[in-house]
Chain A
Amino acid sequence: MSFEWPWQYNFPPFFTLQPNVDTRQKQLAAWCSLTLSYCRHRKLYTLDVMEAQESPVFNNKKIERKLSVEAIQVVFEELRKKGNLEWMDKNKTRCLIMWRRPEEWGKLIYQWVSRNGMVNSVFTLYELSNGDDTESEEFHGLEEWMLLRSLQALQTEGKAEIISMDDGKGVKFF
């Protein structure tokens, strides 16, 4: 399945940070959604600002435009404000990208659990992300830190409890 680029992607001004406040807001919104949908498509969980500049998202070779590092940081900062991104270091060179926020993931997992009537059962984290049962689910292959966060989110809602097991962590759903 090939990624479908939004119309803005071939619009040269999209790659220049707009000085007009209103225009910029719309532009940033478009960037945020493009970044997230691209990461979701490629199942990316971490991004490096320098590497990102070379990736097709921020570098449109066809129209010979690329977003500057400064502008990328502005976009990332915008994503952070929306809760879709977390910086991994102080210098803001690497970041975790959450194209689904932990709560959303938690919801998906819980839906799957209740659909299959497995409330009150205990799972290992590996089972959830890599087990045969979840193969057709979206959260299959979810990175462990992300999975843990989603479960933590569920835990605060009282829908799950994370338990420590001998060789890792497990979770019980309520």
Chain B
Amino acid sequence: MDRFVWSNGLLEMNETLVIQQRGVRLYDGDEKAKLDVGVVLLSTHRLIWRDMKNHECCIAILLSQIIFFEEQAAGIGKSAKIVIHLHPVSPNKEPGPYQHSKYSYIKLSFKEHGQIEFYRRLTEEMTQKRWERTPVSQPMSTTTGPQAGRTRAVGIVGIERKLEEKRKETDKNISEAFEDLSKLMEKAKEMVELSRSIASKIKEKQGDITEDETIRFKSYLLSMGIANPVTRETHGSGTHYHMQLAKQLGDMLLAPLEERGGMMALTEVYCLVNRARGMELLSPEDLVNACKMFESLKLPLRLRVFDSGVMVVQLQSHSEEEMIASALDNVSEKGSLTSEEFAKLLGLSVLLAKERLLLAEKMGHLCRDDSVEGLRFYPNLF
């Protein structure tokens, strides 16, 4: 609390108000401060607190004094709080309400809520550090001109101008935020390329190394990256996009499909594809639409919808008769099987195993025993 200085409650020249919230009580560390409930204002430079009734009673703290802050959730009979940790007192500090305090942090207790928005804005201000760019001491600045606007334009024009400035600022903020993201994506591309080169190296060496499970797993993981994912940005929207996407899916899904016995549930495909794409995530809808294109593009993959509505992607070469025959063989061998047992036997997901059994049942090769113990399938002896 001793970091606070008395203030007149007015904003400085280059300072802009960000947000204010009523019904906030200050805590000196864990103890309630000897101040009443008041309004807390967040500006680009300071955190200001003003007594609700006595407007003369106003204290402030520079944002640059904040080390970090955290949220403290509300409890029964307790308001939500924001804990703000502060740097030690500077020796030439102006006078404030507290001469000394044993705590190096304060708390804002939000009696009338609003802590979420306040916390968000505070985070924004703390990351942007606008106080560094336009120090309050600097009287005139040409870049931003809230005060220029204030002096030159009054009335509606002034308001409009202000709104325009605000809009520009948000634009700038947004594009700044996305700049980071695009940088990250560039890095991601590099990562994919790196992983590819490692993968190919591992593949080359595979002859020398024994069939080690871990190496296989690694090469598999690394081979998943897609260097140039087809996106709406590169291929526009609509059919063309889906066609290109389908082609890319066709390339990347062949290997995993072969490994899984020729069939994968669409959800599994979705996870695999999006993991490979990294940043350029696909929507489920786009994936389904792309999968629907397999047939018309004469790709060796097919989207298949089972009677139950379960969708799978399977290899075209993956023959149904073979699948049914293998189901029948397995069931005959064991006498009877549940879908779980069958899944374990084949290393498939339970859902797909069940679909296979149901298909074999539909073709009349199996029959079911639905009892309290669960659904079992038997060879059709009828």
Q: Which residues of B contact A18 (CB under 8 A)?
A: 367-368, 382
B204 at the interface (CB under 8 A from A): no
Give residues of chain A (113-149) contacting chain B, Cβ–Cβ below 8 Å.
none
In the complex, are the beta carbons of B368 and A16 less than 8 A apart? yes
In the complex, are the beta carbons of B361 and A8 less than 8 A apart? no
Which range contains the number of A residues in contact with the other chain? 10 to 19
A26 at the interface (CB under 8 A from B): yes
Contact of A20 among B336, B361, B376 (CB under 8 A): B361
B378 at the interface (CB under 8 A from A): yes
B99 at the interface (CB under 8 A from A): no
Q: In the complex, how many angstroms separate the beta carbon of B48 from the nearest chain A beta carbon? A: 73
A27 at the interface (CB under 8 A from B): yes
Contact digits for A1-26, partner B, Cβ 8 Å, 1 yes 0 no: 00000011001110110111011001
Closest A residue to B373 by beta carbon equals A64
A30 at the interface (CB under 8 A from B): yes
Which range contains the number of B residues in contact with the other chain? 10 to 19
In the complex, are the beta carbons of B371 and A20 less than 8 A apart? no
Known: A23-B380, A26-B382. A12 touches B361 (CB 8 A): no
Q: In the complex the two chains form, what is the Cα distance from A171 to B66 in whole Å? A: 115
Q: In the complex the two chains form, what is the Cα distance from A23 to B366 in whole Å? A: 9
Known: A8-B382, A27-B382. A20 touches B367 (CB 8 A): yes
Closest B residue to A17 by beta carbon equals B370
Q: In the complex the two chains form, what is the Cα distance from A19 to B364 in whole Å? A: 10
B369 at the interface (CB under 8 A from A): yes
Contact of B367 among A7, A13, A64 (CB under 8 A): A13
B334 at the interface (CB under 8 A from A): no
B209 at the interface (CB under 8 A from A): no
In the complex, are the beta carbons of A12 and B382 less than 8 A apart? no
Q: In the complex the two chains form, what is the Cα distance from A22 to B382 in whole Å? A: 9
Contact digits for A44-80, partner B, Cβ 8 Å, 1 yes 0 no: 0000000000000000000011000000000000000
Closest A residue to B367 by beta carbon equals A13
B167 at the interface (CB under 8 A from A): no
Closest A residue to B336 by beta carbon equals A12
B76 at the interface (CB under 8 A from A): no
Q: In the complex, how many angstroms separate the beta carbon of A21 from the nearest chain B beta carbon? A: 9
Give residues of chain B (109-149) contacting chain A, Cβ–Cβ below 8 Å.
none
Contact of A15 among B362, B371, B380 (CB under 8 A): B371
Q: Which residues of B contact A16 (CB under 8 A)?
A: 367-371
B174 at the interface (CB under 8 A from A): no
B381 at the interface (CB under 8 A from A): yes
Q: In the complex, how many angstroms separate the beta carbon of A111 from the nearest chain B beta carbon? A: 35
Known: A20-B361, A20-B362, A23-B364. A15 touches B369 (CB 8 A): yes
In the complex, are the beta carbons of B364 and A13 less than 8 A apart? no
Q: Which residues of B contact A65 (CB under 8 A)?
A: 369, 371
Q: In the complex, how many angstroms separate the beta carbon of B327 from the nearest chain A beta carbon? A: 14
Q: In the complex the two chains form, what is the Cα distance from A7 to B381 in whole Å? A: 10
Residue of B367, B376, B381, B382 ringed by the most chain A CB atoms within 10 A: B382
In the complex, are the beta carbons of B364 and A20 less than 8 A apart? yes
| Cross-chain pairs A/B with CB under 8 angstroms, 8 sampled | A8-B381, A13-B369, A15-B371, A18-B382, A19-B361, A23-B361, A23-B367, A65-B371
Having A12-B371, A16-B370, one finds 15 other A-B pairs with CB under 8 Å, namely A11-B381, A12-B336, A13-B367, A15-B369, A16-B367, A19-B361, A20-B364, A20-B367, A22-B364, A23-B361, A23-B380, A23-B382, A27-B382, A65-B369, A65-B371
